[in-house]
């Protein structure tokens, strides 16, 4: 796993910061309070989302309402991005789950739930919060923490990280199981059924013999009951048939009375229907006569249309439209008459004017005698033509008025006559339909009467078949068969109850025997389990020291290698030994062994760093299957000075740690930062952190 970049928005002293990281040795350098350690706090929150304490107040920038962190890292050739947010509210500061998202390349793989994101992260990298904070992230002033604690406390903590404490927990847990099994075994040994299992077996065998004897008796009673039941069924069947016949005879008598009543009712109905038929026929004849008279009147009126040379089969609506057409023609002729009269008057005025004057009435020019004469002749001719046209128009108008009078009269008469004709036709159709219905009902009544009379004859024939003496004798036979059957059944049921009681006793004894046998078998299994638990507890007690010795041996070797690289050729040779409590001891070139508390400040820092690297490699390998691939260091140069070269040696050693894919260190030491492959300088301006890359 390698972090590519980190984006901070309103996180501690960072208002808006983007920090790129590379593989190898990355160093954030700057003065005290510039915002370097804030980057490591942000990485921890971005990956796992849980606060270091009870609150997120240490992360969110002062007076900011919301904050945001985006971390991008590479793992297994794929790029992953986690978005997290913070929000301030009345009760404090909390994580903003709406912003929580986990992307694989551009694909969303988890969101909205912190558990989903951390589980996905652990599945990819093997890291969880505790492993990250104990091994990967070495916080400020925590570098020497493991060296300063008491040996037993150190052993307990590292056993937990290596997973060795699980064996101690298992050993203690097995003691509880062992105690419970011993108690359970004691209970079984004192159980009454287990102690008296032979007596239970004898009782069960006796019950089996009784059960077999009573079954034989039940077989004989069963045969007797079967015979009695057959006789009872036969007598009951004959009695039921006779009872059914009696019941049917009673029903037939009731039916006879009902049929007689129905026949009388049908006769009354037939008489009424016949009378109604005659009345309907008379009414229909009267309506048809009235209809003929009205149709004759309609034909008379339509003949007038034919006399006026019009179609006689036109509807009233068509005749109304024709009247409108005649009225339009009459109005047009009237208009033309008025125009012609005006033209005649105008001509007469011109003739009068020419008779008294020699000037043209239109252009007022003087007229000669011949021209005047010709003009007068033309005006007289035009007047004669107009008079002739006026006579023709009056003739046409008189003809149209006569035609209009005829059509209007016919329309008036038909308007009153046609609806009445249609009404009478409808009534005739309705009355005929009702007559047909009455005729059908009358026919049905006649058929029904015939059918009822046939049923009455058949019913009377059936009534004569029943004899009441057969019913009484059959009832006595059935009662005797029932008494025999009841007595046999009572004896059988009593025997069945006895059999049931014995069966219950047998089941109870069998169940007790089975439970006793199960308890005996379980008691034997518990004895074997106790032997196995003793063996396993002994194995757990012996394997923990052996595994611890293996871890100590590899830890000592790894720490020595890391320490040699840190000291280098320029410093004195330091030899490390580690005991069963994971406590390191250092001896110099003279072979004198010293405890950690007797080392100089620089030596203690170098040893603490080597010790943390060695522990990290072993614990990561045992917990995740791969070594330590990332390391976060907060002020690792604690107690080191540049004068003795320890700062330079530590920086050189860190730069040579190629087994760790990425190291991110925070320091205020410029000398330490000089050895980094990627330097990120952190400054502060106007209360906000600013970063610049100096790679």
Residues 274-309 pLDDT 10s: 888 888 888 888 888 888 888 888 788 788 788 777
**Rounded mean pLDDT of 72-81?**
95
pLDDT grade, residue 599 (50/70/90)? confident
Residue 22 has pLDDT above 70, yes or no: yes
Higher pLDDT, 609 or 16: 16
Higher pLDDT, 211 or 19: 19
**Rounded mean pLDDT of 500-525?**
84
pLDDT grade, residue 197 (50/70/90)? confident
pLDDT for position 50: 93
Which range, 93-102, 159-168, 193-202, 509-518, is most confident?
93-102
Higher pLDDT, 692 or 337: 692
Tokens of 561: 């290698």
Using DSSP, state whether 442 is helix, strand or coil: helix
Residue 220 has pLDDT above 60, yes or no: yes
Residues 619-666 pLDDT 10s: 888 777 788 889 999 988 866 666 666 788 778 878 877 778 999 999
**Rounded mean pLDDT of 681-687?**
93
Residue 235 has pLDDT above 70, yes or no: yes
Residues 360-418 pLDDT 10s: 655 566 666 677 777 778 878 888 888 888 888 888 888 888 888 888 888 888 888 88
Return the DSSP state at 572.
Answer: P
**Rounded mean pLDDT of 267-272?**
85
pLDDT for position 281: 86
**Rounded mean pLDDT of 432-440?**
86
Residues 114-136 pLDDT 10s: 999 999 999 999 899 988 998 89
Residue 526 has pLDDT above 70, yes or no: yes
pLDDT for position 589: 67
Residues 547-565 pLDDT 10s: 778 878 888 888 888 778 7
pLDDT for position 357: 67
**Total length of the chain:** 695
Token pair 């915002």 in the structure block, residue: 35
**Rounded mean pLDDT of 456-464?**
79
Residue 209 has pLDDT above 90, yes or no: no
Distance, CA of 380 to CA of 326 (rounded, Å): 34
- Cα 271 vs. chain centroid, distance in angstroms? 74
Residues 316-375 pLDDT 10s: 888 888 888 888 888 888 888 888 888 888 878 777 777 666 666 555 666 666 777 777
Q: Which residue pairs, CB below 8 angstroms and at least 24 apart, start in 427-436? A: 427/287, 428/284, 428/287, 428/288, 428/291, 431/280, 431/283, 431/284, 431/287, 432/284, 434/280, 435/277, 435/280, 435/281, 435/284
Higher pLDDT, 46 or 160: 46
List of E strands, 466-620: 575-578, 584-587, 593-595
Nearest alpha-carbon partner for 613 in 587, 631, 595: 631
Q: Which H helix or E strand runs over 407? A: helix 369-463
pLDDT grade, residue 537 (50/70/90)? low
pLDDT for position 15: 95
Nearest alpha-carbon partner for 615 in 647, 662, 576, 652: 576
pLDDT grade, residue 71 (50/70/90)? very high
Arithmetic mean of pLDDT over the chain: 84
Tokens of 10: 């309103």
CA dist 454 to 257, 265, 271, 383, 490, Å?
14, 16, 21, 105, 54
Please state the CATH superfamily assignment of the domain spanning residues 2-141+623-693 in this structure: P-loop containing nucleotide triphosphate hydrolases (3.40.50.300)
Q: Among 41-45, 175-179, 583-587, which is the least confidently predicted range?
A: 175-179
pLDDT grade, residue 169 (50/70/90)? low
pLDDT for position 294: 85
pLDDT for position 466: 67
pLDDT for position 535: 67
Residue 480 has pLDDT above 80, yes or no: yes
Residue 571 has pLDDT above 60, yes or no: no
601-624 and 646-655 are packed helices; what angle lies between their axes, rounded to 10 degrees? 20
> In the chain, pLDDT over 70 holds for what percent of residues?
92
**Rounded mean pLDDT of 185-201?**
78
pLDDT for position 38: 94
Residues 659-672 pLDDT 10s: 789 999 999 998 88
pLDDT for position 676: 93
Distance, CA of 555 to CA of 577 (rounded, Å): 10
Higher pLDDT, 363 or 500: 500
- Cα 638 vs. chain centroid, distance in angstroms? 60
Nearest alpha-carbon partner for 229 in 496, 474, 492, 495: 492
pLDDT grade, residue 242 (50/70/90)? confident
């Amino acid at each position: 796993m390698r972090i590519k970049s980190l984006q901070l928005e309103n996180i501690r002293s960072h208002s808006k910061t983007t920090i790129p990281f590379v593989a190898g040795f990355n160093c954030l350098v700057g003065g005290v309070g510039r915002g370097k350690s804030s980057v490591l706090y942000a990485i921890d929150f971005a990956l796992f989302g849980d606060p270091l304490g009870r609150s997120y107040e240490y992360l969110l920038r002062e007076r900011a309402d919301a904050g945001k962190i985006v971390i991008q890292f590479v793992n297994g050739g794929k790029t992953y991005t986690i978005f997290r947010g913070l929000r301030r509210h009345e009760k404090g500061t909390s994580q903003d789950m709406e912003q929580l998202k986990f992307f694989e390349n551009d694909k969303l793989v988890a969101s909205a739930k912190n558990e989903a994101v951390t589980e996905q992260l652990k599945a990819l990298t093997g890291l969880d919060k505790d492993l990250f904070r104990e091994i990967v992230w070495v916080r400020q002033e925590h570098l020497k923490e493991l060296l300063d604690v008491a040996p037993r406390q150190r052993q307990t903590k590292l056993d937990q990280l290596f997973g060795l404490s699980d064996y101690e927990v298992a050993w203690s847990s097995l003691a509880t199981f062992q105690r419970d099994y011993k108690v359970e075994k004691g209970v079984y040994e004192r159980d009454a059924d287990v102690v008296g299992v032979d007596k239970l077996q004898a009782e069960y065998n006796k019950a089996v013999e009784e059960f077999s004897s009573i079954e034989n008796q039940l077989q004989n009673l069963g045969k007797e009951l079967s015979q009695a039941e057959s006789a009872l069924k036969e007598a009951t069947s004959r009695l039921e048939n006779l009872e059914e016949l009696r019941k049917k005879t009673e029903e037939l008598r009731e039916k006879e009375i009902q049929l007689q009543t129905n026949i009388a009712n049908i006769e009354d109905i037939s008489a009424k229907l016949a009378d109604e038929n005659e009345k309907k026929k008379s009414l229909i004849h009267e309506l048809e006569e009235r209809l003929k008279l009205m149709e004759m009147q309609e034909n008379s009126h339509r003949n007038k249309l034919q006399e006026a040379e019009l179609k006689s089969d036109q509807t009233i609506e068509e005749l109304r439209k024709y009247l409108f057409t005649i009225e339009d023609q009459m109005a047009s002729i009237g208009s033309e008459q008025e125009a012609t009269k005006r033209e005649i008057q105008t001509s007469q005025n011109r003739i009068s004017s020419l008779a008294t004057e020699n000037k043209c009435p239109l252009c007022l020019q003087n007229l000669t005698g011949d021209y005047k004469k010709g003009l007068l002749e033309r005006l007289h001719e035009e007047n004669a033509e107009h008079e002739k046209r006026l006579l023709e128009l009056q003739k046409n108008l008189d003809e149209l008025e006569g035609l209009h009078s005829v059509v209007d009269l016919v329309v008036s008469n038909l308007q009153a006559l046609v609806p009445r004709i249609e009404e009478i036709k409808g009534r005739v159709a309705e009355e005929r339909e009702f007559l047909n219905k009455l005729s059908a009902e009358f026919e049905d009544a006649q058929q029904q009467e015939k059918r009822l009379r046939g049923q009455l004859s058949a019913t009377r024939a059936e009534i004569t078949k029943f004899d009441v003496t057969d019913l009484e004798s059959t009832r006595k036979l059935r009662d005797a068969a029932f008494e025999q059957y009841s007595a046999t059944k009572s004896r059988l049921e009593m025997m069945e109850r006895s059999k049931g009681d014995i069966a219950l006793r047998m089941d109870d004894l069998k169940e007790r025997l089975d439970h006793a046998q199960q308890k005996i078998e379980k008691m034997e299994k518990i004895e074997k389990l106790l032997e196995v638990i003793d063996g396993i507890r002994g194995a757990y007690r012996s394997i923990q020291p052996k595994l611890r010795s293996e871890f100590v041996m590899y830890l000592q070797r790894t720490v020595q290698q890391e320490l040699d690289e840190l000291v280098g050729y320029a410093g004195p040779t330091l030899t490390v030994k580690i005991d069963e409590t994971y406590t390191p001891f250092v001896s110099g070139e003279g072979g004198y062994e010293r405890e950690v508390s007797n080392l100089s400040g620089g030596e203690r820092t170098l040893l603490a760093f080597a010790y943390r690297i060695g522990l990290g490699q072993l614990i990561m390998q045992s917990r995740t299957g791969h070594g330590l691939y990332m390391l976060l260091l907060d002020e690792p140069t604690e107690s080191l000075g540049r004068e003795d070269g320890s700062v330079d040696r530590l920086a050189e050693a860190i730069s040579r740690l190629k087994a760790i894919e990425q190291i991110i260190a925070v320091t205020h030491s410029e000398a330490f930062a000089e050895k980094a492959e990627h330097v990120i300088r952190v400054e502060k301006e106007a209360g906000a952190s600013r970063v610049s890359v100096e790679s």
